[in-house]
A and B are shown apart, each in its own frame.
Chain A
Amino acid sequence: MNVLYAIVFLILAPLAGGLIAGVDRKLTARMQGRVGPPVLQPFYDVGKLLEKEHVIVALSQNYFVLAYLVFIAFSGALFFAGGDLLLVVFALTLAHVLLVLGAYSATSPYSFIGAERELIQLMAYEPMVILAAAGFYLATGSFYVNEIAAFPRPLIVLLPGIFVGLFYVLTMKLRKSPFDIATSHHAHQEIVKGVTTEFSGSTLGMVEVAHWYETVFLLGLFWLFFAWSPVIALIAVAILYLAEIFIDNATARVKWGFALRSIWLVTLVLSALNLVVLQYFGGL
């Protein structure tokens, strides 16, 4: 395992994630016919949040949010260090449960319902992520990210169903329409602010930075499908993110029932087909 990569991730990911978020907002604005904020805006936002007064609603909420940030960073670092993909997935689940518990501890109706919705989100995309890890294993023979990344054959060819399924789920993980049922980024509102309603100041700043870490990790996950050619991988990941921005702007939020149902259906069908074909014909 490459600890150096992990450290580089821990330092650079917030910067990269923030820039990506800034580009996201700029492009969104242009798509809507506006000028939009400067690309560095997310950094200004977090900087401002850190300057705000320290307020809390519950004593334990900051602990949970800090733990959330720590474990998001941890799972991303583990991923880039080349560690076990399953462990990465489970660490990510732990992180999100911690965020949910932070929202629960604040006990306003909005954060409570936001927390319930966040759990539904978790329930919706967890199967896909687990099956994606299984898919990577079946295709490459290893759960270790560094071995998966070093695999000579293009994984996008071996795992197309998993790829599409993950992309479907990516919208939810990035908190974009149509699946932003628990909380949404910036201008969108959902149950006031859903999970993050009672977080403010530096607490909210931590959530924001954690989101940047997670974005970089998710893009890294998609990189794995194209890892055999870094140039193609970069272009592919960029196109994927642009597609996400486009989908975000072109759709409205759906009901959580629809989100859960459709994600599970897509997960089941695409993963099952992909894995079966891979298992029984993959040798060919």
Chain B
Amino acid sequence: MDILLFLLLAPLIAAVVVYALPNHPVRDWLVRLAAVVIAGASVYLLATAFDKGTQLVAFPTEPLGLAMTGLSVLMALFILALGVRYRKPIAVALVLVQTALLLWFELGYAPGMHAEHNLFVDEFSIVMALIIGVIGSAICVYAVPYMRTFQAQHTEVPDRRRMFFFVLFVFLSAMFGIVFSNNLAWLLFFWEVTTLCSFVLIGYTKTTEAIDNSFLAVQLNLLGGIGFAAALLWLGMTQGTIELDKLVGAGAAVALVPATLISFAGLTKSAQLPFSSWLLGAMVAPTPVSALLHSSTMVKAGVYAIVKFAPVLTGTLPGLFVGLVGGVTFLAASAIAVTQSNAKRVLAYSTVANLGLVVACAGIGTYEAVWAAILLIIFHAVAKSLLFLGVGSVEHQVHSRDIEDMAGLVTRMPRVGVMMLIGMAGMYLAPLGMLISKWATLRAFIHAPGGILFLLLIAFGSAVTVFFWAKWMGLVIARPNRGENIESRVPREELTVLGLLAALVVGVSLLFPWISKVLLEPYVFGLYGKIAELGQDNVIIMLLMMGTVLLLPLSLLYFRTGRHRLTPYMGGRPTTADMRFAGSLGIEREMGLHNYYLEDWFGEKRTFRAGVAVTALLIVLMFAGLALAGGFA
């Protein structure tokens, strides 16, 4: 299928061209052009493939397979060399183990295994491709002015923007590879490419902190990679198939071992507890990296793999424990997010939490759960990328990542402020997308075996997410000290991308019935033979709510007139418009307002430790359950 190849190759070509050029407006234009082309191609894929169900493509295995093995070795050597140079023995050990396993498979078993179809596309791939192609490209466009400002503001960081954009486009290509690969060995190759991209990009600033965090990321991802390679080996030794469609179709009796091992890899890639520290550490990277890799796409690759295997995991003990890891992660990460005041850390923990919800759905693996999982993936990708990019723009003007410094953003940067409010609302408020997904998730949990535990986790977790999003929204809206409007300094291109993403948040929420009908329901039906859907009247109600929410701001016009403006109450103390008041002894004081962070309740160290303990146990139980190889429902 030509469009698949185009999507795989176009970003690569763009990467090479972009790398060949120096920092120059021409290169910027090429980046934008490439972004538009890739986005357009993704939409073209949607238009041509949406109604064709699962299409398997018989693409020749060699010589690509050999090239992949060679490249894998080269990548491993690269990490090895850097690991030695920066004295990271764990990384060195892990890369050696993984490469050994991979080579054992490639040389020992792969020649004897013939994959009939190496590539494929189905509705889920289309969804993922749209996320990668549209949102990913938008982030690349945003990165152009962002990185320009970044280098200008951080003169101590060596200007490696050529490499930066090169890696961004290579990454996009690898992500397409992940979602179009039917051959698991190929999937692993692309998986490892994304690990490498993440490694390079996290270390972009080359500070000690950045390098340490990039190695942390590579270590945890390699750990997952070992699991993946082990799965391939097992398939080789048992003379199974390495084709995804055949494996998933074969069911738990055949595929449970590789499914569990690959789910383990997925857990590391998606930064689930106990492997979440790398994602938090990755926040030192420039914001486009956080938006692209560490919220919308790369971490989605992890949950993509687990969701793909959901039909295998459903009703099994390993599936149950994978799901519980996700559920506990959701609760713990949400709780920790309450205590964070660094905006990027809040977003990172929220990402971990939402991915946990997806993993929980995938582990439960019923038709409803898979439907809910994909909905969650879509809405999270859109809203979270908007938020990360928004934080990036704000950081460049306000010079701080602290939420407390974003107080009054609606007066200082009105459009960015409103768009961030849309993004935040999109993460948890009805009638926007995430809420719909949570609603679907609840219904999926309630029907699942062992569902009550999941219900408790989501009930408490949701309550906590409301808290930290609403308090951030409130801070953006409150105006303790009326600052001046500094929005004119934000590059127009950044505003355009933010606007596009904000429109997507609203648009995708409005369009979800259509998305569900056209893409999700056929996918779920194809796997399970059952339709998961919302009731017709519920759809109407949600659209009604949406309409109301969109129309209500018109009331602001009415409320503008004839109102007498008063100052807020300060216990009788006369206050100025920017909240300075006359304190005792006549000294003028400034008022400061801070959010509650509930440190004593959900303190990061304590909660993280508890979460790690529980999830580590759950993973042990997952493997134990695998050994017992039982279904239990």
Contact = CB atoms under 8 A, between A and B. Distances in A.
Interface of A: 1, 53-60, 62-63, 66-67, 70-71, 74, 78, 83-84, 86-87, 90-91, 93-94, 97, 100-101, 103-112, 115-116, 119-120, 122-124, 126-128, 130-131, 134, 137-138, 143, 192, 197-198, 260, 264, 267-268, 271-272, 275-276, 279
Interface of B: 429-431, 435, 438-439, 442-443, 446, 451-452, 455-456, 458-460, 462-464, 466-467, 470-471, 473-475, 477-480, 535, 537-538, 541-542, 545, 548-549, 552-553, 555-556, 559-560, 562-571, 579, 591, 593, 595-596, 601
22 contacts: A55-B565, A56-B564, A62-B555, A71-B545, A93-B429, A94-B431, A101-B474, A107-B480, A107-B579, A110-B569, A112-B593, A115-B474, A116-B474, A119-B596, A122-B467, A122-B470, A126-B463, A127-B459, A130-B442, A143-B443, A264-B460, A268-B460
Given A70-B552, A87-B538, A94-B430, A126 B459 contact: yes
Contact of A93 (B459, B464, B466, B571): B466
A275 B455 contact: yes
Contacts, number: 177
Contacts of A198: 568-569
B564 A53 contact: yes
Nearest to B537: A1
B430 A63 contact: no
B568 A111 contact: yes
B467 A119 contact: yes
Given A126-B459, A134-B455, A275-B452, A78 B569 contact: no
Given A104-B478, A107-B479, A126 B593 contact: no
A97 B463 contact: no
Contact of B442 (A59, A78, A134): A134
A191 B354 CA distance: 35
A267 to B, nearest CB: 8
- Describe B's contact surface by its main secondary structure: helix
A162 B310 CA distance: 32
Contacts of B569: 108, 110, 192, 197-198
A129 B451 CA distance: 17
A58 B552 CA distance: 17
B467 A120 contact: yes
Contact of B459 (A83, A104, A130): A130
B564 A97 contact: no
Contacts of B535: 84
A109 B572 CA distance: 12
A63 B418 CA distance: 15
B461 to A, nearest CB: 9
Contacts of B579: 107
Contacts of A90: 430, 435, 438-439
B463 A123 contact: yes
Which 7 A-B pairs rank lowest in CB-CB distance, beginning with the nearest? A108-B568, A104-B474, A126-B463, A127-B459, A130-B459, A90-B430, A62-B559
Contacts of B566: 55-57
Contacts of B552: 63, 66-67, 70
Contacts of B567: 57
Interface majority SS (helix, strand, loop, mixed), chain A: helix
Contact of B563 (A56, A130, A197): A56
Nearest to B445: A134
Contacts of A59: 556, 559-560
Contact of B446 (A138, A268, A276): A138
B452 A86 contact: no
Contacts of A54: 562-564
A120 B596 contact: yes
Contacts of A120: 467, 596
Looking at A70, A107, A192, which has the most chain B CB atoms within 10 Å of its CB?
A: A107
Contact of A63 (B458, B459, B555): B555
Q: Which of A59, A90, A126, A138 neighbours the largest number of chain B CB atoms within 10 Å of its CB?
A: A90
B460 A101 contact: no
Given A84-B535, A127-B459, A63 B556 contact: yes
Nearest to B479: A107
Contacts of A271: 456, 459
B337 to A, nearest CB: 12
A131 B538 CA distance: 20
Contacts of B538: 83-84, 87
Given A63-B553, A71-B545, 14 more contacts: A56-B563, A62-B563, A66-B555, A84-B535, A87-B542, A90-B430, A93-B430, A94-B545, A100-B470, A107-B479, A124-B463, A198-B569, A268-B456, A268-B460
Contacts of B545: 71, 74, 91, 94
B558 to A, nearest CB: 9
B477 A60 contact: yes
Contact of A100 (B456, B474, B596): B474
B439 A86 contact: yes
A260 B566 CA distance: 34
A105 B477 contact: yes
A101 B477 contact: yes
Contacts of A1: 537
B463 A127 contact: yes
Contacts of B591: 109
B555 A272 contact: no
A130 B462 contact: yes
A277 B548 CA distance: 40
B472 to A, nearest CB: 10
B603 to A, nearest CB: 14
B478 A105 contact: yes
A269 to B, nearest CB: 11
A127 B566 CA distance: 38
Given A104-B474, A131-B455, A63 B559 contact: yes
A158 B540 CA distance: 32
A134 B444 CA distance: 11
B566 to A, nearest CB: 5
B477 A104 contact: yes
Contacts of A101: 470, 473-474, 477
B547 to A, nearest CB: 11
A280 to B, nearest CB: 9
B464 A123 contact: yes
